[in-house]
């Protein structure tokens, strides 16, 4: 039985630089506490690492870089909302902060929190303090620590298993929350925030030891001086509901109920994770493994045992190898389970049988089960904004103000409005439509509905190319291609990131784009629509200009050889990449498929229409549009709900036919 924690690292290997920064921080206080008081535009590198634990990243807006001048420093603040729950007061505070201090937008994250971008250092303390005072938190939203605990977002009041999942997502978040006083000392000048009381069972479990899971007489009884080797992601879900992408998590609890619909225990999954590095084969995406079953009475001890195993044996010398997925991969599931059982002090039971996992986004109108309704609203790429006739941010603010509605954020970066009285339904629907927001998920592009993209450029320092800003045009191009090939009714899960860290979970997509240089992406294929299987890399470097030329033969093959009701991801997995490449190598473009037009900025105030011919030579043809023409084209496309490329083709065809 484990009596005390093991050394942080093997004596022959030097800990990474970040381990020293954490050790010197005095439990996350310094140098943030000192530097937040300084009249500077940014923090030092050491403070940046500690600032992450407090829920903020220092960023540089690369769009505003001027050679020879200081970087355009700004800060992203991320909230921590277990189960995605956001009370009305907190949402209105975040909306106000986005206007006063941010870039006038809010972004729903893929971990059911909010991000605000564009905050200046001089406003950072005011922004975080306002969030805390509105019953919110940013503590642990980033850093080497447990991140936001996810749960299915659907507010079903007549399904006890869902209520148990929300409850335990909150309890797990409490258990794994940092205990240091640094957060309130720095952002509230030591004033303790008014917050809901912790579950007494959680408080007792946090202090309980006997098997080496706790550091006694420490400000951080579970984490110790060095916290975790890297970030630690958790979720709680119910049997069959994979809205949380459970296989991508470090730790997932699956609620198991008895005949009375009371919590009996939990199936445990561990070891998932998607972050990787291009050209480093030792880094890879990995699915979580089933570890076993634990009774309700022992669930907190089991969580602590898993955390302690990763805390004490995770790699603190190489941050690329520091996630739990690498420890389980190196050890194997049996050895990992054995170590967890030593910390737990008892064996885990065999996992309980579960139904097949299904993905659900919960968009549209639904009965809550208590006489009220909830409405899931699709938020493209999670960006809540006002732009032209599309005024989602204004609509949500007015709805929350008028009806005092709470919301739940979804793992697919959408928004669910909760507790809507039936007599409010029509007024809310009308308000959304008036502001250019479509409440019916079946009335929007299904490619858009099931897509995700990370923010990437210009603010993410890791991004090597675009993601959120280019995703709408990529989806338009795919949609035009599908229509042209007679596949207009097909849709699949498309996800994109600007780097290989996988924040939008592209490795679980049927069609995944992973940034690999300017305007260049890895293309990943073969995951399934329910996110239970990893995709595999099909093309290492795909210039975005060649999108249609590379996708067309794959989609033609899919159309010709699919099985009844087979999805694109399942088809790619069944056929195999050798067969896909063989078909593609022999595929001949017949000329009936016209070149796709992609509008791009030429950097001189004009817009180019870059025609990427669907030919083996992949020739590029360019025509230039004057800025006023482009502006009118864009406005017309938005008003008609059509891709600009479609309007360009229609206009040119009509003109040529009239000659």
Active-site residues, by number, are: 78, 147, 231, 233, 454, 460, 499, 503
Cross-strand partners of 269 = 252, 290
DSSP calls for 410-439: -TTS-EEEEEE-GGGHHHHHHHHHHTT---
Could you say which DSSP state residue 140 is in?
T
Structure tokens at 601: 């900025």
**In sequence order, which ranges of 293-368 are alpha helices (DSSP H)?**
299-313, 324-331, 333-344
Asked if 554 and 487 touch (Cβ cutoff 8 Å), the reply is no
Sign of CA dihedral 30, 42, 321, 359: positive
Structure tokens at 280: 């480093």
Sheet holding 263-270, edge to edge: 234-237, 251-257, 263-270, 289-295
Asked if 635 and 645 touch (Cβ cutoff 8 Å), the reply is no
Peptide bond into 458 cis (omega under 30): yes
Structure tokens at 152: 């299915």
Radius of gyration, CA atoms only, the chain: 25
CA angle, corner 259, sides to 258 and 264, nearest 5?
10
Asked if 609 and 598 touch (Cβ cutoff 8 Å), the reply is yes
The position carrying tokens 């790429």 is 381
Number of CB atoms found within 10 A of residue 120's CB: 14
Asked if 557 and 575 touch (Cβ cutoff 8 Å), the reply is yes
Distance between start and end Cα atoms, the chain: 87
Could you say which DSSP state residue 142 is in?
S
The position carrying tokens 């969580």 is 303
C-alpha distances in Å from residue 288, one per residue of 146, 270, 413, 531: 16, 5, 22, 12
Spatial distance between the Cα atoms of 503 and 462, rounded to a whole number of angstroms = 11
Q: How far is CA 446 from the centre of its chain?
A: 19
Closest listed residue to residue 490, CA positions, set 558, 542, 430, 548 = 558
Spatial distance between the Cα atoms of 398 and 109, rounded to a whole number of angstroms = 22
Asked if 339 and 304 touch (Cβ cutoff 8 Å), the reply is no
Structure tokens at 260: 């009375």
Sign of CA dihedral 401, 404, 406, 412: negative
């Amino acid at each position: 039985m484990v009596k005390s924690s093991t050394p942080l690292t093997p004596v022959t290997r030097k800990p990474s630089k970040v381990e020293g920064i954490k050790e010197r921080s005095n439990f996350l206080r310094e140098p943030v506490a000192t530097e937040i008081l300084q009249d500077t535009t940014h923090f030092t590198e050491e403070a940046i690492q500690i600032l992450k634990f407090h829920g903020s990243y220092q960023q540089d807006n690369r769009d505003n870089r001027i050679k020879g001048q200081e970087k355009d420093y700004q800060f992203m603040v991320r909230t921590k909302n277990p189960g995605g729950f956001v009370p009305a007061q907190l949402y209105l505070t975040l909306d106000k902060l986005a206007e006063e201090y941010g870039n006038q937008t809010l972004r729903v994250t893929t971990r059911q929190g909010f991000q605000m971008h564009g905050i200046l250092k001089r406003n950072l303390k005011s922004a975080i303090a306002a969030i805390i005072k509105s019953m919110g938190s940013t503590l642990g939203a980033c850093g080497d620590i447990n991140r936001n605990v996810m749960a299915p977002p659907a507010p079903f009041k007549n399904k006890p298993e869902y209520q148990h999942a929300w409850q335990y997502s909150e309890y797990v978040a409490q258990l794994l929350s940092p205990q240091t006083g640094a957060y309130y000392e720095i952002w509230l000048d030591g004033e303790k925030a008014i917050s809901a009381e912790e579950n007494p069972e959680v408080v007792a479990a946090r202090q309980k030891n006997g098997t080496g899971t706790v550091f006694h007489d420490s400000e951080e009884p579970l984490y110790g001086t060095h916290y975790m080797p890297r970030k630690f992601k958790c979720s709680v879900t119910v049997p069959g509901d994979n809205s949380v992408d459970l296989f991508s998590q470090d730790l997932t609890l699956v609620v198991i109920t008895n005949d009375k619909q009371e919590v009996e225990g939990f199936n445990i999954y561990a070891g998932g994770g998607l972050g990787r590095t291009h050209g480093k084969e030792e880094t890879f995406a990995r699915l979580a493994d089933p570890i076993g079953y634990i009774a309700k009475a022992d669930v907190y001890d089991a969580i602590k045992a898993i955390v302690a195993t990763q805390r004490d044996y995770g790699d603190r010398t190489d941050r690329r190898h520091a996630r739990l997925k690498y420890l389980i991969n190196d050890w194997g599931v049996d050895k990992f389970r054995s170590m967890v059982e030593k910390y737990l002090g008892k064996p885990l039971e065999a996992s309980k049988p579960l139904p097949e996992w299904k993905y659900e986004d919960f968009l549209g109108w639904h009965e809550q089960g208590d006489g009220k309704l909830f409405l899931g609203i699709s938020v493209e790429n999670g960006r809540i904004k006002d732009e032209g006739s599309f005024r989602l941010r204004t609509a949500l603010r007015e709805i929350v103000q008028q009806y005092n509605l709470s919301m739940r954020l979804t793992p697919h970066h959408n928004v669910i409005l909760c507790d809507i009285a039936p007599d409010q339904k029509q007024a809310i629907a009308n308000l959304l439509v008036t502001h250019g927001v479509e409440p019916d998920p079946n009335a929007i592009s299904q490619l858009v509905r099931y897509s995700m993209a990370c923010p990437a450029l210009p603010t993410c320092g890791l991004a090597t190319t675009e993601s959120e800003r280019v995703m709408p045009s990529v989806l338009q191009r795919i949609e035009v291609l599908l229509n042209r090939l007679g596949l207009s009714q097909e849709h699949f899960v498309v996800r994109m990131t600007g780097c290989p860290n996988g924040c939008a979970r592209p490795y679980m997509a049927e069609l995944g784009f992973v940034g690999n240089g300017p305007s260049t992406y890895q293309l990943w294929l073969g995951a399934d629509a329910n996110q239970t299987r990893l995709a595999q890399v099909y093309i290492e470097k795909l210039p975005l200009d060649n999108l249609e030329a590379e996708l067309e033969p794959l989609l033609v093959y899919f159309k010709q050889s699919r099985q009844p009701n087979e999805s694109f991801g399942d088809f790619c997995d069944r056929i195999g990449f050798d067969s896909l490449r063989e078909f593609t190598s022999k595929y001949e473009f017949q000329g009936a498929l016209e070149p796709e037009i992609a509008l791009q900025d030429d950097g001189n105030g004009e817009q180019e229409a870059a025609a990427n011919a669907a030919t083996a030579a992949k020739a590029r043809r360019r025509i230039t549009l004057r800025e006023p023409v482009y502006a009118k084209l864009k406005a017309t496309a938005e008003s008609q709900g059509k891709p600009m490329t479609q309007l360009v083709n229609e206009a040119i065809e009509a003109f040529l036919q009239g000659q």
